[in-house]
Structure 1
Amino acid sequence: MTNQPVVIDVQNVSKRFVIRKDKTLKERLLNPGRSRQNREDFWATRELSLQIEAGQTVGLIGPNGAGKSTLLKLIGGIIQPTTGRVLSRGRLAALLELGAGFHPDLTGRENVYLNAAILGLTREQTDEHFEDIVEFSGIREFIDTQVKFYSSGMYVRLAFAVAIHVDPDILLVDEVLAVGDEAFQKKCLDKIQSFQEEGRTIVLVSHSLGQVESLCTRVVVLGQGSVVFDGDPHEGVKLLRSGFETLDEAEEAKARLERERLRDAEVKRLSERVKIGEIRTSADAEGLDSGGNLTIEVDIDAREHLEAWDLGVTVTNSLQQMVTGTTAHRAGLKGIPVEGRQTLTFELPRLPLGAGEYTVSAAMFDDEYREIDRAESATSFSVHCDKASMGPLYTPARGEIAPSGDSETLRR
């Protein structure tokens, strides 16, 4: 947490919905006892607590049915919690459902004034912003048409335009932005980014995980109405993508990701301590004759004792095809610890390479074969041979010709 004031405080909030399995209202009236038996409580959130500070952009993500939209409605005051309470500070604008707050029989113009009034603006303040709202929405020619004739995209355009022009301290946005076209979505995202620069607080629900990673400063992952993760957007998205349905599965996924994070941190640490240095070959400036012996030397600098490791070298032709390669383990150097500056030498005898240019690369690995360091195309050499064969491998091909049926020649 930073030193910014808390503008949204969700305190042990649970929200219960009653699911009725009666087929008709008549059945409920005629059989009230059975009706009570056919009801089921569904808890959309369970003792959920969350604090959001001023200036944060928080993404609420999770599987379908996790409670994301319910939590957003609780924060916006659209619904009230069954237990617990939600506190907020500042003017709040919510864009939660398609057409929410619009009266279908009123025109777009009339709905702008109605929505603005609901959000706390006076008529005079709405007059000031009206032209900007219409301009942003891009539906000026339909502003005096009843909104019941609007398409879903027009609904979103007008609703979002109103929400962002009432000068909110907190903006709540549900998945409705997915309805707009690409150009309008970009305009909305640009506006959200300008809100971020102004230090406003944004809470959004989205299934577009790429947008969540790029926009949000914090991610809250929900599962079965509870917070299963609260923190870095990249880590939260990775947890959601790992796949979980129950809270136990979410905890297993978190533990697995934590182990991966620790392994990645260890690899990063080793990559700063163990480096591949110069790579040399025995091929001189004039190159190597095909079928000759090639020696590859790789300098390494291990600034700590490394017990388990491996290093691989590859030879690649001009078409970026690996033609041969080996590793320290394959070459008989397994189980030998390294520390300090050392040189690994690989002998590749009788290499039948075709004529051309070749490059040598090397990569260092830890005991779990995670890459520590890499030197790509660190050195090069050329290979010379006669024109007896072609391709990446050379063979001293020869040919004979004889009359058909000469079995003696065929046997040779």
Structure 2
Amino acid sequence: MVVSAAPGPDVIRVNGVSKDFVVRKDNSLKDRLVHFGRHGKQFRQRYLAVDGVNLSIQAGTTVGLLGANGSGKSTLLKLIGGIVSPSSGVIETRGRMAALLELGAGFHPDLSGRENVYLNASILGLSREETDRQFAQIHEFSGIGEFIDTQVKFYSSGMFVRLAFAVAVHTDPDVLLVDEVLAVGDEAFQRKCMEKIARFRAEGRTIVLVSHSAAQVAELCDRGIVLKDGAVVFDGGTNDAIAALRDVLEGRRVGEKPPPEPVKPIEVRGIDILGASLEPIKKVRSGQRMTIRVHVEAMDPMERWAVGFSIDTPLGQMVLASNTERLGVTLPPIPAGKSHMDFTIAAAEFGTGEYHVNANVSELIDIDAHVLWQGARFRVLGHEENLGTVAAEISVG
């Protein structure tokens, strides 16, 4: 995750903003002719897309808008960008704003890519002279090559968004609004877009990003805002925002614990992270020896049992896992009551960042197991010169 500097002044303020639309139930011409002259209200429904949102965004921050489909993310972004007007409330913005909200917004299908660059750049506030100076960089960044002189109606959706994104990020914006466009294009272009956004962050620009990719939000954003039914239900750090989104998607209130599972013959009661002297720790150095202690409780004596653990990133990506069966260990019978099992990791080169530890226990591994998700958390300190979940000493030459 990108770490932000001290917050700057507010560049976006959203005060008590709501937006509703009228949705017609008689969509076809036949329905409208049949219902003509009748009470129209019964064939119209008010849909509240954004409901009383209050927030402020500071200069130099990158904010991710998260939520399920229909939660109001894109509508809120359009309100901030001035594409649509609020039904109530006030939105205040400052600085040059570039909005990349819909494929082809501001593009004319009968004009070539080159002509559309000039057209779209002028809409975004650039003069022709400024566009002349930026054109070569825009063309190179888009990667569409000789198709720059082809009518854009023959472009694929990927080519469309590549050119649109290239124009938007070369207009020298103070605020960039991006809605899901990073999901289009090949992996190399997506990486180029994220690197450009990261460079904008380093230059002190402000980005508001709508994405369904938790990985993108975690990598690019230093703040996450979760919406549900048009209202903000969480506003805070990205890792906590991703956890809040998981709660929303699984039908829970934010912060509400999942319903308890039925009692099993043996269950995990807790997880400890221990250092070399078996002292509790919260931070480790990459490659440092550590022990994962899994606390269990058996309801009755058991002749056989098995324990496992896994270590995940905050996004749920497994980076290391094992269990007694894989390690070829047969555990002795366990009495009723509380016990514990230690897994000692001699040296794991975890990349810098936070990790969650899960544990499972059962009579037979992976069969009717009881799992404690995110029972412990630790932070890895170490190699700042490389990124990812693996740390390494890298030399050049």
Q: Under TM normalisation by the shorter chain, which class is it?
A: 0.5 to 0.7
- The match for 2:194 among 185, 189, 193 is 189
Aligned pair 1:174/2:175, yes or no?
no
For structure 2, list consecutive stretches of 5 or more residues without a partner in the other structure. 259-269, 280-294, 298-304, 308-322, 346-358, 360-369, 378-397
- Give the structure 2 partner of residue 323 of structure 1: 330
Is the 8 Å Cα contact of residues 17 and 90 (structure 2) preserved in structure 1?
yes
Q: Which string of whole-angstrom CA distances, capped at 9 and with x for unpartnered residues, describes residues 349-399 of structure 1?
A: xxxxxxxxxxx9689x9xx998789xxxxxxxxxxxxxxxxxxxxxxxxxx
- Give the structure 1 partner of residue 156 of structure 2: 151
- Give the structure 2 partner of residue 17 of structure 1: 21
Is the 8 Å Cα contact of residues 81 and 99 (structure 2) preserved in structure 1?
yes
Give the 3-state SS of the residue equivalent to 1:33 in structure 2.
coil
Is the 8 Å Cα contact of residues 228 and 248 (structure 2) preserved in structure 1?
no
- Opposite residue 47 of structure 1, the aligned amino acid is G
Q: Distance in 1 between matches of 2:225 and 2:324?
A: 49
- Give the structure 2 partner of residue 64 of structure 1: 69
Q: Distance in 1 between matches of 2:229 and 2:325?
A: 55
Give the 3-state SS of the residue equivalent to 1:256 in structure 2.
coil
- Opposite residue 256 of structure 1, the aligned amino acid is K
- Give the structure 1 partner of residue 105 of structure 2: 100
Q: Distance in 2 between matches of 1:57 and 1:120?
A: 22
- The match for 2:80 among 67, 70, 75 is 75
Distance change >3 Å, CA 139–CA 40, structure 1 → 2: same
Give the 3-state SS of the residue equivalent to 1:47 in structure 2.
strand
Aligned pair 1:138/2:143, yes or no?
yes
- Give the structure 2 partner of residue 110 of structure 1: 115
Shift of 1:323: 2.6
Shift of 1:160: 0.3
- Give the structure 1 partner of residue 241 of structure 2: 236
- Opposite residue 278 of structure 2, the aligned amino acid is I
- Give the structure 2 partner of residue 54 of structure 1: 59
Is the 8 Å Cα contact of residues 103 and 161 (structure 2) preserved in structure 1?
yes
Structure 1 residues 28-43: aligned runs within 5 Å: 28=32, 31-43=36-48
- The match for 1:129 among 127, 134, 140 is 134
Is the 8 Å Cα contact of residues 28 and 35 (structure 1) preserved in structure 2?
no
Structure 1 residues 264-283: aligned runs within 5 Å: 276=278
Distance change >3 Å, CA 174–CA 3, structure 1 → 2: closer
Aligned pair 1:202/2:202, yes or no?
no
Is the 8 Å Cα contact of residues 93 and 168 (structure 1) preserved in structure 2?
yes
- Opposite residue 41 of structure 1, the aligned amino acid is R
- Give the structure 2 partner of residue 91 of structure 1: 96
Distance change >3 Å, CA 372–CA 250, structure 1 → 2: closer
Distance change >3 Å, CA 256–CA 123, structure 1 → 2: same
- Opposite residue 117 of structure 1, the aligned amino acid is S
Give the 3-state SS of the residue equivalent to 1:97 in structure 2.
coil
Shift of 1:320: 2.5
Structure 1 residues 276-355: aligned runs within 5 Å: 276=278, 320-325=327-332, 330=335
Is the 8 Å Cα contact of residues 11 and 95 (structure 2) preserved in structure 1?
yes
- Opposite residue 185 of structure 1, the aligned amino acid is Q
Give the 3-state SS of the residue equivalent to 1:98 in structure 2.
coil
For structure 1, list consecutive stretches of 5 or more residues without a partner in the other structure. 258-266, 278-307, 336-343, 345-359, 374-412
Aligned pair 1:214/2:219, yes or no?
yes
Q: Distance in 2 between matches of 1:36 and 1:333?
A: 65
Is the 8 Å Cα contact of residues 247 and 255 (structure 2) preserved in structure 1?
no
Q: Which has the larger radius of gyration?
A: 1
Q: Distance in 2 between matches of 1:319 and 1:195?
A: 46
Moved more, 24-33 or 67-76: 24-33
- Give the structure 1 partner of residue 255 of structure 2: 254
User: TM-score, normalization: structure 2?
Assistant: 0.67
Q: Distance in 2 between matches of 1:52 and 1:73?
A: 15
User: TM-score, normalization: structure 1?
Assistant: 0.64
Shift of 1:33: 2.9
Is the 8 Å Cα contact of residues 179 and 211 (structure 2) preserved in structure 1?
yes
Q: Distance in 1 between matches of 2:96 and 2:105?
A: 18
Q: Distance in 1 between matches of 2:76 and 2:53?
A: 9
Shift of 1:140: 2.8
- Opposite residue 69 of structure 1, the aligned amino acid is S
Shift of 1:185: 0.7
Distance change >3 Å, CA 4–CA 20, structure 1 → 2: same
Q: Distance in 2 between matches of 1:23 and 1:362?
A: 64
- The match for 1:5 among 9, 17, 26 is 9
Same amino acid, percent of matched pairs: 53
Equivalenced residues, count: 301
